[in-house]
Amino acid sequence: MPSNNKPLAVYRNNNAITALQQGIYKVNQTTFLIGGAGYECDGKNKDASGQAILCSFVTKYKYDANSKKIVSENWVYQPTKKTWSTIALIDDDKNFFKIFYQNYEGNTGDGKQWYNDAIDFKTTPSVIDNGVLSYSFGQAKFLLSFIPSNLTSNNKIQHTSGAESYNTQVNLVEGEYLSLDKRGVWSKSDDGNGYRTLGEYRNAHTNTGNVLCLYPLNWNAGIVFNSNQPNAQLYQLTAGCSDTIDTKVDSIALTEGVKTIGNKKVIYLSQKPVTLRSDEATSSYQYLYAIALNDKGIPTQGKAYQVGYAEKSSEQYYNKAALTNILDSQKVDLQIPLPF
C-alpha cells in the first residue's frame, strides 16, 4: 500500500451531529426519478406547451436515538398541482453513502471471520461518539463524519444566513474490512467456475493463455500467478475482462500473500503503484486486493481495507435553511407549508 503520509483525519463536529438528529436533506429536481418502480413527475413529462415539468424530490435523513440508525422519509412537490406528497424509497434514499458494494454470494469479513451481511451506514446501528457516528462490524470499527460548509449565494440560489451543506467521510480506525464480489459476470478471464480449493483456482491462472481479470482494480486489468513463487504479474487487457493481453503495455509484479480467515484461504495482492496528485489524500489507497472462494466454491474478488482507510463523499446534504433556499430557486411555492 502507498504510505499514508497525507491521511484524511477523523473530523468531529458536535453541531453537525445535532443537525443530523434534527434532519438533513437531499434534493433533486427532475421529470422522472428512478427508484423502485420509478416516479413520473405529475404523471407526465411535459405540459400543454411542450415544456418539461420538473418536480422537486426531497429526502430527509435523521439519526433515530431508539433504533440507533439513520432513518429517512421522501416527498415530491408537484408544481402543476402545487402539492407535496410522500413517496416510497427512492435511489438517493437507498444509496446513502454506499461506498462498499457487494453483490449476492460474495464474501464480507473483518479479518477474523466471515459474515452474511455487509456494513451499511444507513441501516447498521451506530452510536454517537464525540461528534461522529461510530459503527462496529465484528472487529472492524468505522467512524462517520459530517463535515459542514457555509453556503453563499450564487447566480442560481440566494442563500440566507445559516444555510449549510454537509459532506460525509468514513474512517476505518480499527480492524480490517473485506468486501468481495462473486465473479463470473463477463468473459472467460472473469472466471466464475467452481473450485474445490483456492489453490486450484490459482493454478488455473499461471500462464498468459489463462489470464485472470482483476476486476476490483479495473476491468482492463489481468493477472497471471507465478507457479514457482508467491507473486502475480499484472497485465493490461485489450478490452474489459477480455482474454487477450495488450503486449504494448509493460507488466508489473504484484506481491502476494495468503491468510486464513475462518475456514477460508484468502489471497492478498499488493496494489499497482500509483502516482498521487499533490493535493490528493493517501487514505483512500489503504487497502489490498483480496481473492477467496465463497461457500459454493465460486471465486470472489474485492478489497481488504486496512486501518487508515478513509473516503470522503462529494455528495452534499443540506440543513433546513439551505433546503428552503434551494426549493425557492426551483420555484416551489413556499406559501404552502413544507411537510418536513
How confident is the prediction for the chain on average, in pLDDT?
A: 88
Closest CA to 213 of 242, 192, 238, 251: 242
Q: What are phi and psi of 22, to 5 degrees?
A: -85, -30
pTM of the model: 0.88
Give residue 92's pLDDT: 53
Residue 136 in grid coordinates: 462496529
Give residue 36's pLDDT: 43
Give residue 314's pLDDT: 86
Give residue 118's pLDDT: 86
Give residue 30's pLDDT: 79
Give residue 55's pLDDT: 85
CB 4 within 8 A of CB 305: no
Give residue 37's pLDDT: 46
Q: Which helix (H) or strand (E) holds 73?
A: strand 69-78
Residue ranges in the chain modelled with pLDDT below 50: 35-37
Give residue 80's pLDDT: 82
CA quadruple 189, 193, 199, 205: dihedral, nearest 10: -20
Q: What is the pLDDT of residues 67-118, one digit of tens each?
A: 999 999 989 898 888 899 888 766 555 666 667 765 567 788 999 999 888 8
